[in-house]
Amino acid sequence: MNAPTPPRTPATASSSSSDPQPDSKDPVLNAPHAPATPDTPEIPETDAHDGVDAAHDDGIEDDDEGDLPEVQGGIGAPPYEGDARCGLIAIVGRPNVGKSTLLNALVGQKVSITSKKAQTTRHRITGVRTVDEAQFVFVDTPGFQTKHSTALNRNLNRTVQGVLADVDLVLFVVEAGKFGLDDAKVLSLLPQDKPVVLIANKLDAVHRRAELMPWLKSMQERRNFTEFVPLSAKKDADVQRLFQILKPYLPNQEWFYEEDALTDRSEKFLAAEMIREKLFRLTGDELPYEATVVIDRWEEEGNLRRIAATIVVERDNQKGMVIGQGGERLKRIGSEARQELETLMEARVFLELWVKVRSGWADSEEHLRSYGYE
């Protein structure tokens, strides 16, 4: 993992491939800046090692029923002058719309954990990608919490609001064709003085794309979005085209990070996140989201990382859920986390896991600070 060191004078990066062309018969893909989606195999539903927002294209019908309406207005992009560009881009939305999956796709490597459990992302995660003369600094945020006013949820919401105050551009992520009360609450928090791009994610889960036309019209009435981008974060062609759409909105300025930087987070932070991801994936709905991971010891010996970590839960019965019969579940959590960390860090990893009960930690500001919550 490369540790960024801001700022510096930009270097020249390799040129990117040309834009893919949209299918002329697909009403959604003819919308402004709608990405091409070539017939590539879909990623299947996930197991413990895969992303979480997978969906199948089986039965998708591309109806030839006319183009989606034009999306006009919003805050216009600055003219591109060919100089170095760099900017902060927030990725916001309600829980489980695929924000972390999108961030990982944009960065080209896993820097933010994913699971089907709501509130998986709890920290401000920065992912960096440099394409040609432009450096994109993406900030993944926790899904804005509208239920259960615990100290943890208030902390997550402060993180979202703090990010929005700093960025140059906002990606508002929703599921294509869906918009509920929680989406509306997030939309109401977005700043009026910054460009907001509507990302209609999980396009591959929409079976009749012409049905998105009335939905898009309703979205236009909610806000004058700068751009409308339907996509699947699982498709590389969609992700590459998104870079070209966002590039003109970045300010002309020097890069914040080295060209090969991927994130501003440390290996220690990423280790705790990877363990927490496996915890949530392997316990499913059994374990409430009020569980966290704390790194107790971190030692580096050449190409070896010795890591000791504690999984913190709130009740004794949750401890049993995590350990499993004969300790089998805890062993599997550790094994899968270790394998992924070895790939991420390109090093051998020796991982020890413990489980402790800390009643009420999620509603204690003191515990939150001690466990690394901002």
Q: Which domains does the chain have, with CATH numbers?
A: 1-265 (3.40.50.300), 267-370 (3.30.300.20)
Tell me: the pLDDT tens digits for 127-174? 899 999 999 999 877 655 445 455 555 555 566 666 787 789 999 999
pLDDT at 42: 39
- Which of 119-128, 254-263, 328-337, 352-361: highest mean pLDDT? 328-337
pLDDT at 314: 82
pLDDT at 65: 40
Q: How far is the C-alpha of 220 from the C-alpha of 206, rounded, in Å?
A: 19
Contact of 328 with 353, CB cutoff 8 Å: no
What percent of the chain stands above pLDDT 70?
64
User: Is residue 192 predicted with pLDDT exceeding 80?
Assistant: yes
Structure tokens at 241: 């085209």
User: Is residue 274 predicted with pLDDT exceeding 80?
Assistant: yes
pLDDT at 333: 94
User: Is residue 6 predicted with pLDDT exceeding 50?
Assistant: no
pLDDT at 45: 38
Q: Which residue has the higher pLDDT, 165 or 115?
A: 165
Q: How far is the C-alpha of 91 from the C-alpha of 98, rounded, in Å?
A: 10
**Strand order from edge to edge, sheet including 227-230:** 125-131, 134-140, 85-92, 169-175, 196-201, 227-230
pLDDT at 11: 37
In this prediction, residue 345 has a pLDDT band, given cuts at 50, 70 and 90, of: confident
Q: How far is the C-alpha of 36 from the C-alpha of 41, rounded, in Å?
A: 14
Tell me the β-bridge partners of 349: 305
Q: How far is the C-alpha of 246 from the C-alpha of 135, rounded, in Å?
A: 11
Q: How far is the C-alpha of 352 from the C-alpha of 294, rounded, in Å?
A: 12
In this prediction, residue 281 has a pLDDT band, given cuts at 50, 70 and 90, of: confident
Tell me the β-bridge partners of 139: 90, 126
Alpha-carbon dihedral sign for residues 201, 205, 209, 211: negative
Instruction: Give the containing element (helix H, strand E) for 217.
Output: helix 212-222
CA atoms within 13 A on the CB side of 111: 29
What percent of the chain stands above pLDDT 90?
35
| Among the listed residues 337, 290, 238, the one whose alpha carbon sits nearest the alpha carbon of residue 119 | 290
pLDDT at 365: 55
Contact of 145 with 156, CB cutoff 8 Å: yes
Region 73-97: mean pLDDT is 74
Mean pLDDT of the chain: 74
Region 244-257: mean pLDDT is 93
Q: What are the C-alpha distances in Å from 254 to residues 16, 87, 89, 133?
A: 20, 9, 16, 10
Region 332-337: mean pLDDT is 94
Q: Which residue has the higher pLDDT, 195 or 125?
A: 195
Please state the φ and ψ torsions of residue 319, each to the nearest 5 degrees. -60, -40
In this prediction, residue 110 has a pLDDT band, given cuts at 50, 70 and 90, of: confident
User: Is residue 121 predicted with pLDDT exceeding 50?
Assistant: no
User: Is residue 235 predicted with pLDDT exceeding 90?
Assistant: yes
Least confident piece of the model among 45-59, 138-152, 218-232, 297-311: 45-59
Contact of 198 with 174, CB cutoff 8 Å: yes
User: Is residue 265 predicted with pLDDT exceeding 90?
Assistant: no
pLDDT at 109: 84
pLDDT at 336: 94
In this prediction, residue 37 has a pLDDT band, given cuts at 50, 70 and 90, of: very low
User: Is residue 123 predicted with pLDDT exceeding 80?
Assistant: no
User: Is residue 344 predicted with pLDDT exceeding 50?
Assistant: yes
Helix (H, G, I), strand (E, B) or coil at 86: strand
Strands (E), 147-303: 169-175, 196-201, 227-230, 292-301
Longest dimension (CA), the chain: 63
Q: How far is the C-alpha of 121 from the C-alpha of 65, rounded, in Å?
A: 39
